[in-house]
Homo-oligomer: A and B are copies of this chain.
Amino acid sequence: MFSPDTYAARRAALAEAVPGGLIVLLGNETMPMNYAANPYPFRQDGSFRYYAGADAPGLALTLDADSGEATFYGREATIEDRVWDGERPSVAERAAAAGISSTAPPDALTGVVAAARQAGRVVHVLPPYRAAQRSRLAGLLGVAPEAVAPSDVLTDAVIAQRLVKTPQEIAEIEHAVGLADEMHRTAMWMAQPGRTEFEVAAAIESAATSRGSYLSFPAIVTVRGEVPHHRAGSHTLEEGELLLHDAGCVAPNSGYASDVTRVSPVGGAFSERQRAIYDLVLEAQEACIDGCAPGASFRDLHDLASRTLAAGLVDLGLLRGDVDELVAAGAHTLFFHHGLGHPLGLDVHDLEGLGEDRVGYADEATRSTQFGTKFLRFARELRPGYVMTVEPGLYFNATLIDLWHSEGRYADAVDYDEARKWVGFGGVRIEDDVLITDDGHRVLGPPIPKRPEDVEAVVQGGA
């Protein structure tokens, strides 16, 4: 995707950051659904793709952190591969595309790692997130699967490097946000009474796949927006419902992801109550976007969202008391029970496979133990080149309202009688993808309708 020099420069920086030893990066394998010949769509490992480029199964990379030499491991196509799957680049061609001249078959990796270990060299591997990776690493390292020990120094170096996006990477994310614009406009057009959630979800996905892209995560398309991970169902939309659509896709040639959320009023007009919540979430989102800048703490921005939302909930009579005290106590988490956002890149929750705490907290921050706030995936200081989602939300979740009410939690702070009146409202989340620039921030991609009147206009245009 990028130039061979780009990959070479990335590897040189990584070798520089790791004080000696042999770095081993495994590409992903295909994953069977119910038998080997019917695998899930292939998804390459983010770090392998970042340093070695190739988007195909069965590959690996070694990088000598002392000499900087790289070797690319892969299997040549057999005649049966060529007949059944079509012609594909040779291993040498794939390696050359990433600026690597040394190649070897996959089996050679075992000997290379064994030789490094026998020579007393450190072998650096990343944390596995799939059972097949763990098993392969265990075999290479000669340990039991549960004893595979990832290299902290390698992991931290990869995180530090991949978190900061170059202009080329930013352009790819913007391309994916552009496709997400089509997806969310499609959802708005489709937010009409009589349509099912399934139909809207199918149309959203088709807006991506018809352009050669694919979803970066299974789309959330539901009037049950108060259940954050609710997928589409057979529900038929009714006038006046709120349809939440949280969906993104990838830039087709590079795999960089987008992740955007919008909420459409079914039939084209927000009710007064819906506007009250929508406007409040939008106010919080815009305040947090405004706060995105180098040096700002993402934890502080999360707290800004919490305070903004809590203040509005007090005005609406759902919470009672001093806003700072409410947020410190966590009463607002009854209605806002997830984090403000996460890094975005080749992975949707970028780099999360390397450890959520390592990526999002490191030595800079400590994870909250408060319900809701503890789900914040990233709490560190922002730096130029970071790309973050900013996605506050408000939810009226009957399960949580009933439970906390029955437990007497926040009995002074929450007006449960009032809260119960909002059950059935659903939820509102508004999410954009934001680049941290040298002097502030930039919302990536084209403007995706977000002001309530703009969303209404698009919905009305689809009727």
**Which A residues fall within an 8 A CB radius of B?**
31-38, 40-41, 43, 45-46, 79, 82-87, 129-132, 134-135, 145, 196, 198-199, 201-203, 205-206, 209-212, 217-218, 224, 227-230, 233-234, 337, 346-349, 352-353, 397, 399-400, 403
Report whether A85 and B230 are in contact in the complex, using a CB–CB cutoff of 8 Å: yes
Report whether B31 and A85 are in contact in the complex, using a CB–CB cutoff of 8 Å: no
| Least CB distance, A323 to chain B, in whole angstroms | 23
Report whether B36 and A228 are in contact in the complex, using a CB–CB cutoff of 8 Å: no
Residue of B nearest to A209 (CB): B202
Report whether A211 and B198 are in contact in the complex, using a CB–CB cutoff of 8 Å: yes
Report whether B129 and A130 are in contact in the complex, using a CB–CB cutoff of 8 Å: no
CB-contact partner of A218 in B41, B135, B397, B399, under 8 A = B41
Could you tell me the dominant secondary structure of chain A's interface residues? loop
Residues of B within 8 A of A224 (CB): 86
Q: A210-B199, A224-B86 are in contact. Are A399 and B32 (CB under 8 A)?
A: no
**Cα of A210 to Cα of B221 in the assembled complex, Å:** 12
Residues of B within 8 A of A86 (CB): 224, 227, 229-230
Report whether A353 and B34 are in contact in the complex, using a CB–CB cutoff of 8 Å: yes
For A83, A129, A205, the residue with the greatest tally of chain B CB atoms inside 10 Å of its CB is: A83
For A32, A85, A205, A228, the residue with the greatest tally of chain B CB atoms inside 10 Å of its CB is: A32
| Least CB distance, A148 to chain B, in whole angstroms | 12
CB-contact partner of A84 in B40, B134, B229, B348, under 8 A = B229
13 contacts between A and B (CB under 8 A): A34-B347, A35-B352, A35-B353, A36-B353, A83-B227, A84-B228, A131-B131, A131-B135, A196-B210, A198-B209, A201-B209, A202-B210, A205-B209
Residues of B within 8 A of A145 (CB): 135, 145
Q: A34-B353, A40-B40 are in contact. Are A234 and B212 (CB under 8 A)?
A: yes
| Least CB distance, A351 to chain B, in whole angstroms | 8
CB-contact partner of A35 in B134, B201, B347, B400, under 8 A = B347
Residues of B within 8 A of A218 (CB): 41
Residues of B within 8 A of A348 (CB): 34, 38
| Least CB distance, A318 to chain B, in whole angstroms | 17
Report whether B83 and A399 are in contact in the complex, using a CB–CB cutoff of 8 Å: yes
Report whether A85 and B229 are in contact in the complex, using a CB–CB cutoff of 8 Å: yes
CB-contact partner of A43 in B33, B228, B397, under 8 A = B33
Closest 5 CB pairs of A and B: A202-B210, A35-B353, A131-B132, A35-B352, A131-B131
Report whether B349 and A82 are in contact in the complex, using a CB–CB cutoff of 8 Å: no
Residues of B within 8 A of A210 (CB): 196, 198-199, 201-203
Report whether B38 and A397 are in contact in the complex, using a CB–CB cutoff of 8 Å: no
Residues of B within 8 A of A31 (CB): 31, 40, 130
